Amino acid sequence: MRTFIALILLSFSISSFGQDVPGYSGKFNAIDRLLEPPSPYRTASGAPGEDYWQQRADYKIKASIDENTNELVGEETITYYNNSPHNLKFLWLNIEQNVNRKGNEDFGDVLGGVQDSISSLQIQYLLRPIDFPAGTDIQWIKDASGKPLDYIVNNTLLRINLPEPLKSGENVSFSIKWKNYITDRAKFLLSREGYEYFPEDDNKVFLLGHWFPRMAVYNDTEGWQNKQFRRLGEFALEFGDYEVALTVPADHIVAGTGTLVNESEVLTKTQKERLDKARKSFEEQLFIITPDEAKANEKTKKTETKTWKFKAENVRDVAFASSRKFIWDAMAVKLPTNTVLAMSFYPKEGTPVWTEESTNAIKQALEVYSEATFDYPYPTAISVNTSNIGMEFPMISFNGGRPMNGQISEQARRGMTSTIIHEVGHNWFPMIVSSDERKWMWMDEGLNTFLHQRTLAERYPQWSSTRPKDIVPFMMGDQKTLRPIMTNSDNDLLFQMGANFYQKPTVGLQMLRETIVGKELFDEAFKEYANRWKYKHPNPSDFFRTLEDGTATDLDWFFKGWFFTTETVDIDLAEVKWFQLKDEVATVENKDQKGNTKRISGSGNAEDGMGFGEGPQPFAMAHTPDGAYGQFLSRIDESQMREQLSGKHIYELTFKNKGGLVMPVIIEWTYADGTKEVQQLPAEIWRLNEAQVTKTFLKEKEVVNIAIDPNQQIPDVNMNNNVFPRTKQSDKFENMKDE
């Protein structure tokens, strides 16, 4: 009975831990309650469950562009497969072009609204006084037998009411005819699609993304993903096979998702021969259309048309670009399990820098991302030059960056190349590892930026890449406006979106890889996540659980602090004490009035500026009485211990957590002989007291300086309290934040 009561008391003390313990707020508690629970569809290890399912949609599309009216008219047949265990009475589709219609939500106000002086372009963003057609007009929807289907348009979403519920395990086919008004991209803030007009030669480059009605996602954790498109939160789509026929002016060149299946009909004999040669060119890119040929081509406008036909398998979207202005170069990239044709399309305004950088950047991204996750599975990877954006789609991306009068600064060149790498990298996240961009922007942008920065670091070492210190200014921002990473895509402020959804997740993954978990374990776990969820729809919980599963590391404390809060890192080296063992033996009577062994005062309170000048404080080692060993019969060899401690230096360091986030503590010891040693304490040292920790160290040599995280592996917002003694030397760490 006594044992039973003791266990009850112990259980009570554990369950109430955190309510009465000073310095404890539960940062190391499990995050299970913050995530959706495991299910037969998604396991507790982060993998798809045995009963995991997802929907599928196959498309056959015919569309044509009228260059004079800037209209796209299309017809599509969709076959939708209901692999869910539910019967569906209606279907939801995306028609995102409607976001461009006047009266819809816009981002004009983020530029500051009406001011004393305001540019005409800003007025257009803000009020759209010059109106123009925009959006998608649905002309009809019919079932497989040609009968009209009832439908309702709700802004950027389209609901089709089925005459009979679509039963689990069955499929349905239906057709849609629609018209899109292709808009001038210069008239929209954050415009990803439309045309770019070139007044000098009176030509356009058409960039067509989310240009056809597409099935919304229906899944096990949300049902229909029916959040409206508001420009920031991008796309959640189902996988399928596509057959696409695009009719454009006969002198246009089309770059599109998939394999061009009618080369002999749309390419000249010379162009086809060059393309065949490029498929075997692994060392250099070759021109399919040269700059001189492109310049000649843009001078004439044909009234005839050509139809370009593409096929794509197991993709979640298709996009294309069309223009008579395109220069076209290509080269082959050999991966362990696949050979990819890397291609770039750009107007003369992109030369010479696009010739120099674009296709090579595709190659570098394909190689680094494939090594980090899985081999790029598609036959082509395309980069198309445009202005002011970087936008991704399967196998093709639209990327900004151009020289001015043929010249480009090194910073602009880096930005352009970085954009191409980033957008090509989106083929992995979210085009294959298909997370929900409309809900969790960080799951595609953050993971992709992490590998994009790794590509820069490995393949472009001459250019800087994001490091933990770069997130410090953002984390030091106003806590009233900061939002955690785990914020829905459309709910973050536009001006902090880049830092919160791109940069901060990148820094978090860098810390896990390089500091907290280690490269070998982290890389295996990250690769496991990518392979578990390729061609599937992961949620944040699947990512968090897979990283823990693959590293055998409890990372709940990290995910909770870094992803779910806006707390900062500020580790203060608050106090340093230096001791040496005295020669004489102390007695057990060396106690204070409460019976505790007396402690000798320290030699370095950081806050009052003290250093090591007073020398070590002596302490005595007392004999351990037999009663202290309990029933153990063996005894410590005290003479050996005295010998081991003789002449050694003992340092007691007190750390204070002033920022809130718990992190590993990285200590750099500088010794009197000029040598240095780096020692890392795991974040778990904060488990019992998240506000303050004291740790004791035995050193062979005398220490003259101690620095916490001198290389800024952790984004500490105040490096001035990271050094001891407090001297002008601490200024160098403050300056590092601005480098």
Helix (H) or strand (E) holding 294: helix 291-297
Evaluate whether 41 touches 51 at the Cβ level (below 8 Å). yes
CATH code for position 389: 3.30.2010.30
Inside any domain, residue 416: yes
Evaluate whether 316 touches 324 at the Cβ level (below 8 Å). no
Average pLDDT of the chain is 91
Inside any domain, residue 1: no
270 and 414 share one domain: yes
pLDDT value of position 83: 98
Could you say which of 380, 401, 428 is where a domain stops? Answer: 428
b or e along 608-639 (b: 16 or more beta carbons within 10 Å of the residue's beta carbon)?
eebbbeeebbebeeeeeeeeeeeeeeeeeeee
pLDDT of 186 above 80: yes
C-alpha span between 378 and 387 (Å, rounded): 26
**Bridge partner residues of 159 (DSSP):** 92, 152
pLDDT interval class at 598 (50, 70, 90): very low
Q: Coil, strand, or helix at residue 468? A: helix
C-alpha span between 27 and 684 (Å, rounded): 10
Evaluate whether 654 touches 694 at the Cβ level (below 8 Å). yes
Inside any domain, residue 2: no
682 and 724 share one domain: yes
268 and 154 share one domain: no
Evaluate whether 302 touches 320 at the Cβ level (below 8 Å). no
CB neighbour class for 284 (10 Å; exposed up to 12, middle 13-18, buried from 19): exposed
pLDDT of 610 above 70: no
DSSP character at residue 298: T
Query: Of the given ranges (271-275, 451-455, 486-490), which has the lowest mean pLDDT?
Result: 486-490
Evaluate whether 575 touches 610 at the Cβ level (below 8 Å). no
Inside any domain, residue 244: no
Higher pLDDT, 667 or 192: 667
pLDDT value of position 19: 42
pLDDT of 273 above 50: yes
Name the amino acid, one letter, at 122.
Q
Could you say which of 238, 263, 290 is where a domain stops? Answer: 238
458 and 550 share one domain: yes
- 100-107 mean pLDDT: 80
665 and 731 share one domain: yes
Backbone torsions φ then ψ of 309, nearest 5 degrees: -115, 130
pLDDT value of position 608: 55
What digits encode the pLDDT tens for the residues 33-65? 899 999 999 999 999 999 999 999 999 999 999
C-alpha span between 666 and 653 (Å, rounded): 12
pLDDT of 18 above 80: no
Q: Coil, strand, or helix at residue 432? A: coil
Would you state the structure tokens that stand for residue 155, as one six-digit string?
């802004």
372 and 259 share one domain: yes
What digits encode the pLDDT tens for the residues 334-348? 999 999 999 999 999
Inside any domain, residue 172: yes
pLDDT value of position 13: 39
Inside any domain, residue 312: no
pLDDT interval class at 739 (50, 70, 90): very low
259 and 299 share one domain: yes
pLDDT of 362 above 80: yes
pLDDT of 408 above 70: yes
pLDDT value of position 493: 77
**Bridge partner residues of 605 (DSSP):** 575
pLDDT of 462 above 50: yes
What digits encode the pLDDT tens for the residues 709-733? 999 999 999 999 999 998 654 444 4
Cβ-proximal residues to 153 (8 Å cutoff; 6+ apart), any chain: 95, 98, 138, 159
Inside any domain, residue 179: yes
pLDDT value of position 333: 98
C-alpha span between 165 and 80 (Å, rounded): 13
CA distances from 55 to 88, 239, 513 (A): 12, 8, 34
668 and 581 share one domain: yes
- 277-300 mean pLDDT: 97
Backbone torsions φ then ψ of 96, nearest 5 degrees: -65, -20
24 and 96 share one domain: no
pLDDT of 601 above 50: no
pLDDT value of position 430: 97
For the ranges 575-584, 588-597, 688-697, the one whose mean pLDDT is highest: 688-697
C-alpha span between 246 and 260 (Å, rounded): 11
35 and 65 share one domain: no
158 and 257 share one domain: no
pLDDT of 624 above 80: yes
pLDDT interval class at 15 (50, 70, 90): very low
CATH code for position 147: 2.60.40
**DSSP code string of 150-194:** EEEEETTEEEEEEEEEE-TT-EEEEEEEEEEEPPBGGGSTT--SE
Provide the percentage of residues in the chain whose pLDDT is more than 70. Answer: 91
pLDDT value of position 195: 97
Task: Provide the residue range defining the domain that includes 520.
Answer: 10-39+442-567
Bridge pairing between strands 88-94 and 157-166:
antiparallel
Neighbour order of strands in the sheet with 396-399: 286-289, 327-334, 339-346, 380-385, 396-399, 390-393
Question: How many C-beta neighbours within 10 Å does residue 12 have?
Answer: 10
Inside any domain, residue 393: yes
CATH code for position 466: 1.10.390.10
Could you say which of 402, 428, 454 is where a domain stops? Answer: 428
- 291-296 mean pLDDT: 97
- 17-33 mean pLDDT: 70
- 645-667 mean pLDDT: 96
Domain count, the chain: 4
340 and 289 share one domain: yes
